[in-house]
Amino acid sequence: IQLKEQGMLTDPISTVIEKYLNEIGEHKYNIIARDLGMTLKDAQAIGDMIKSLEPKPGRGFADTQDIKYIVPDVEIEKISGKYVVIVNERTTPRLSINPYYRNILKTDEKDDEARKYVRKKLDSAAWLIKSIEQRKATIYNVVNSIVKFQQDFFDKGLDYLKPLTLKDVAKVVGVHESTVSRAING
């Protein structure tokens, strides 16, 4: 197809493509030359031309940067007749505070400014870690309440889906509606 689009496809080249690709791969140009009644130089030139082609021509149309995979925050599995919410640990970063920085606060270092700076950064890091864990717990609680409320839907199908509002879920989980909204919208 590529050679045809370039106006370079001839009968000998077409024959080589159809019948002699293995020989090209094994550099057996003498067989191609003998069978097709051409010079060894011509067989090699055809082989070189074929080797220069894109083996997967569709690859040029793919934009791999646009591929976005969806990874769920939770999965729902039916185990021993009960629906279980499983938090996908791969969707949340695993964060921890390097003990080196905690030890800085324990030293008898006289530089109060440095200690205050490290304390502030450690507090920020601890807050971030706590917030991520809280989000994970909120997502679990929200999905768990939905699963319990929609039990018939999970068992019997779409006809059994019940209306459910953010307010209903927030009340069961014990958080504000906006918290539920943020949890389900990422």
How far is it, in rounded angstroms, from Cα 186 to Cα 181?
8
Q: What percent of the chain is modeled with pLDDT above 70?
A: 95
Beta bridge partners of 83: 78
With both helix axes pointing from N to C terminus, report the angle between 112-149 and 177-185 in degrees, rounded to the nearest 10. Answer: 90
What pLDDT is recorded for position 111? 77
How far is it, in rounded angstroms, from Cα 13 to Cα 47?
9
What pLDDT is recorded for position 99? 87
Radius of gyration of the chain (CA): 32
Neighbours of 12 (CB within 10 A): 15
> What values do phi and psi take at 22, rounded to 5?
-60, -40
How far is it, in rounded angstroms, from Cα 167 to Cα 156?
25
How far is it, in rounded angstroms, from Cα 12 to Cα 20?
11
What pLDDT is recorded for position 64? 65
Average pLDDT over residues 136-160: 95
What number of H helices and E strands is found in the chain?
Answer: 10, 2
Each residue of 76-133: pLDDT tens digit?
Answer: 999 999 999 999 888 887 888 888 888 877 876 667 888 888 889 999 999 999 998 9
Whether the pLDDT of residue 141 is over 80: the answer is yes
Whether the pLDDT of residue 59 is over 80: the answer is no
Question: Model-level pTM?
Answer: 0.59
With both helix axes pointing from N to C terminus, report the angle between 29-36 and 11-19 in degrees, rounded to the nearest 10. Answer: 130
What pLDDT is recorded for position 74? 92
Average pLDDT over residues 13-39: 93
